[in-house]
A and B are shown apart, each in its own frame.
Chain A
């Protein structure tokens, strides 16, 4: 989870404790953390802070700061946050990505690192909030250009309008701890699937802390025939890599591909090591109900622990 206090809020009691903690934390943290940018935009309360070498993009919601991006200002290509490393697992599934779509820019770290290692690839980043784009450019070394495009739009609207197909589509449109329901439903995932190039994959950032995870997994299974889960240990993040088709890669094939890519691309992160997070056995309740535009109780599911 990206909550900085690392505490899943299950009950009202816990929420109150978090509120009290959050009210006290800024005083204590003020000594180390320096706020570089703060804006209440149309969609988010965006905060950029510097803590030592770490520059952090927070979205504050209900007095809780959710970490969206963490960048090392001495080594800007380093992937400090576990979930950003885990997202790179998607690279094992695509031989030569040419086009990548990212929905939910954050600090733009993930596509920036990918662009560094794949110089022939072009990137489309879709972000609803102009303040986030501004923060990414000013504080997170994100530089738009012809290879690194930014579209200030709703992710679903962008896809609905686009006729392009992508080798990798990354779904990470968090708004302070939650994803808007219209970016979680079967209809949305079908739209995503229809924009995949042959052999393309979807990389999704999920959380396994609540019952929403079961509904998410069942919904992905309804749209994509294959899914591979990479489970985080530091937070409750699960990175899910999904594609269509009947052929499924084995653990050995993935390990070999990861080792080969690591040699060829000289990643700054350890791609083969991500296989330790690979969870082959389905870790979700298959009787959960598929999320649809008609019925997507994401808020109430997200309040119930598993």
Chain B
């Protein structure tokens, strides 16, 4: 098995990173929707509500999955999957946004706000839900006894939120002006994939050593 201290550090690092990734993705999402659906408040409303729904789903699914023989290796699957989806987003969102605009606004004659809500759902429900699975799963991995579970959960929530703060600030203050939107999606995806591969490799190596 992975030693407890290493597992603890790996889980904390992952929780901070996914917290940062979620907020970074949220800001990128708003930025990349604006050229297609305008700068009305509805773009941010769409983004925020879609992220809240998907985080709710993610927390629920992550909690449920944590009951089935949890392991650090399995935890790493969430950022791996999320990272892959985020990496692919800049290759598809232009087509998705244009198609939804044509369908909802031009064909149906409806408001662009509904088109932006559909676009936000199509692009961000899945990756943010997958990333949302991390927190409850991480609580299960680190919790050792009932008496300290609340403390463990509190620590993880705090770390995740600190990560989110850093992600939001870094993305909006420096990264979008520096790198642009499309490359930032790719780096974010690659970062999550890299982190999870690292985590997977170390936990599998440890497993082999103990066998």
Contacts and interface: CB of A to CB of B under 8 A. Distances in A.
Nearest to A292: B180
Interface string A140-182: 0000000000000110110011000000000000000000111
A187 interface: yes
Interface residues of A, number: 21
B181 A188 contact: no
Interface in B29-43: 32, 34-35, 37-41
Contacts of B35: 156, 182, 185, 187-188, 293
Contact of B34 (A42, A153, A181, A294): A181
B124 interface: no
Contacts of A295: 179-181
Contacts, number: 47
B180 A154 contact: no
A275 to B, nearest CB: 36
A246 interface: no
Contacts of B176: 297
Given A294-B181, A295-B180, A297-B176, A161 B106 contact: yes
Interface in B151-202: 176-183
A188 B41 CA distance: 20
Nearest to B178: A297
Contacts of A157: 37-38, 105, 112
Given A161-B105, A161-B106, A154 B38 contact: yes
Interface of A: 42, 128, 153-154, 156-157, 160-161, 180-182, 185, 187-188, 292-295, 297, 299-300
Interface of B: 32, 34-35, 37-41, 101, 105-106, 112, 176-183
14 contacts: A42-B41, A128-B40, A153-B38, A154-B37, A154-B40, A156-B35, A157-B112, A161-B105, A161-B106, A182-B38, A182-B39, A185-B35, A293-B181, A295-B180
